[in-house]
Amino acid sequence: MEAQNTLAFRDNFPVTEGHTLVAPKRHVAGIFDLTESEQAELWIEVAKVRALLKKQYSPDGFNIGVNDGAVAGQTIAHAHIHVIPRRKGDVEDPRGGVRWIISSKAKYW
């Protein structure tokens, strides 16, 4: 998918089938380096990608995320948002979601 200022493309190392990245065409390291209008367009495209993936793959949910900086796990120094389709049973217990980035803090229940 392509919009005026964004591109959406499949992740080269997908976490799940359909894992897609949405990125601005303008090179910036992080999404917060974009203007407000560029950020708005980026999130509009994330919503469109999510809708397309929902129709194409019928997932049960999504993880939508940003790794903001190397310490947060960002390995490509170009802003992008992950849209990851999730399916019931793809992990034993999905509770905690993104909290698993620091596994010792994931189980808060």
Which one of 27, 78, 80, 82 is the catalytic residue? Answer: 80
Question: Is the full-model pTM beyond 0.85?
Answer: yes
Q: Which CATH class is domain 6-105?
A: alpha beta
- Residue 19 is among the residues annotated as catalytic for this protein: no
Return the H-helix or E-strand segment holding 46.
Answer: helix 36-57
Specify the pLDDT at position 107: 75
pLDDT at 6: 96
* C-alpha distances out from residue 65 to 49, 90, 109, Å: 13, 18, 22
C-alpha to C-alpha distance for 79 and 32, rounded to whole angstroms: 8
What are the residue boundaries of the structural domains of the chain, listed by start? 6-105
Residue 100 banded pLDDT, cuts 50, 70, 90: confident
